[in-house]
Structure 1
Amino acid sequence: DYVITGQKMWITNSLQADWMCLLVNTGDGPAHRNKSLVMVPMDRPGIEKARKIRKIGMHSSDTGLIHFDEVRVPQRYRIGEEGQGFIYQMQQFQEERLWCAASSLLPMEECIAETVQWAQERRMFGATLADQQWVQFKLAELQTEVEALRALTYRACDLHVQGQDVLTLASMAKLKAGRLTREVADTCLQFWGGMGFTLENRVSRLYRDGRLGSIGGGADEVMLGILAKTLGIAKRPPR
């Protein structure tokens, strides 16, 4: 058996999960070669679901702090080869980052569309908000950026399905999606004025939920670090 002791934080849906896919240290070698992926039943003795983390957004998905105190798990619950967990996790990150980019497209489209409708209805000083050229140009620019992200994401997904390495494109798409979501939500909320600052407004939800896009699955700075290495600007660590 493996005997697991420690804690995990920021675990999505961990308060309801029956199983957890856990990246654990199973050796004493280098950090990228001493880890394994293990499926851990959440009803094992020694597991404590310590608390639910209160977040500013993504309220439909619980995030928990989990403690492990000498939790015994059979080695047959390991995924793949021992010591290859870090490699497996990095490979999985490519699909997760593509998902992050793809799943951001529709919320941004809907946010822009609802803001266009609002701008056409909101009257001020004898005209509508949509009559302001600045508003027209900014919403047109944001929609163009969304379509550019869609093209990048679709290309990366297509190459991934073909079995090609999409480390660079997936990192670019993840970076762009997180930053563009923030820009779309912030700009549209501003156009809504006080109504945008209410919880009943879907634009305000994207403003809160979308902020995670530049943090979860690899922060913007991690994506930039990867891109700097693939471009040959930053030095790669010695193996």
Structure 2
Amino acid sequence: MRRDLYTEEHDLFRQTARAFYAKEVVPHHERWDDEGIVDRSLFTAAGAQGLLAFQAPERFGGAGVDDFRFNAIMVEEAQHAVVSSAGLSLSLHNDICLPYFTEQTHDAQKERWLPGIASGELITAVAMTEPGAGSDLAGIRTTAERRGDVYVLNGSKTFITNGINADLVVVAVKTDPSQRHRGMSLVVVERDTPGFERGRNLHKVGLHAQDTAELHFTDAEVPVDNLLGEEGEGFGYLTANLAQERLSIAIAGIAAARTAVDLTLRYVTEREAFGQPIARFQNTQFVLAECETEVEVTQHYIDRCVLALAAGELTAADAAKAKWWATELQKRVTDRCLQLFGGYGYVTEYPIARLYADARITTIYGGTTEIMKTIIAKDLGLR
């Protein structure tokens, strides 16, 4: 069934995005996997081609285009090229971090930060999760005590995407530790802040080139002017952006599943067993028929969510449905497709193996599947 989400302008942009990944990412991705981090040049190359900060105003170097379909294409093309790590690094910067810098900043902050974000010279991250607080966001313990014109931060964060490369980290802190939700604020911690240290670049099951770090704050002094929005409103800012974040993850999930099916369709027509292509076996046909159907049906729901986001109608429950269904489908489809590759599917030089390893985290980050179901249940009035 034909997708009607994109216009001719989007199709032309897709060609640019696909060429960017082919030229700037694919030749380097194996090395980045080995090194555990993408080069900073990934961001500046993307910025030079206008592939960053689409929603940022033109006067700050962005495109000034409030159309999430461009973001979606960047995510889809990363999965098409099987470079999930680079794709996540860029989508974190574009889809998840950028809204804090466009919506919660005053003019002086915009002038200070947005040009570098748009050019790729300033890489962004957001630090919410802590060793003792993941899904329970209101339970964070990192504090920011105001002393004159600075906040003094103490605490630790973990599993922070872009954590090693980041120049600007949006950090969730407690400015009033006696409160839960109402005591939370967001401050921007800059790279060279004294007392801000990066811990390990965590070695993961998949997404090997994506730097995922521990961050530590020991009497780190951050200017009060680095506060985003109003003090005590951080929880609201975070939750307001979660629907877009979860939709971005869902888009990546269904695009990865689509790529897995396409790769497997090509493989089974070429691979022979018992004197014939394995595509002729009924089991192969049934597995791929089932995977194709699930992917296509899900794709149309995700496309509808993208349109709902553009119209300001995407609810937390709808985003949760998209996120949990698409990512669980991603895991299931990549696993079933890998099985059809036999032993070759377990060899990392085959793209299906990378898709399989990279899929495992998607039902965890951005809110676990269990949290997504809880959100949906509450929307049904089940409390």
- Shorter chain as denominator, the TM-score bin is over 0.9
The equivalent of 1:133 in structure 2 is: 282
The equivalent of 2:358 in structure 1 is: 209
Name the SS of the counterpart of 1:33 in structure 2.
helix
The equivalent of 1:67 in structure 2 is: 216
1:180 counterpart letter in structure 2: L
The equivalent of 1:164 in structure 2 is: 313
| Greater RCO, CA 8 A, separation 6+ | 1
- Match for 1:95 among 239, 244, 250? 244
Unaligned stretches of 5+ residues in structure 1 = none
Runs of 4+ displaced beyond 3 Å: none
The equivalent of 2:71 in structure 1 is: none
The equivalent of 1:191 in structure 2 is: 340
The residue correspondences of 1:1-239 to structure 2 (distance < 5 A) are 1-233=150-382, 235=383
Shift of 1:182: 0.5
Percentage of identical aligned residues: 38
1:178 counterpart letter in structure 2: T
Greater shift in the superposed pair: 21-30 or 60-69? 21-30
Higher strand share: 1
Aligned residues: 234
Shift of 1:13: 1.1
Q: Is contact 1:185-1:206 (8 Å) kept?
A: yes
RMSD: 1.2
Using the alignment, how far apart are the partners of 1:113 and 1:81 within structure 2? 48
Q: Is contact 1:153-1:170 (8 Å) kept?
A: no
Using the alignment, how far apart are the partners of 1:123 and 1:189 within structure 2? 16
Greater shift in the superposed pair: 5-14 or 97-106? 97-106
Shift of 1:165: 4.2
TM-score after normalising by structure 2? 0.60
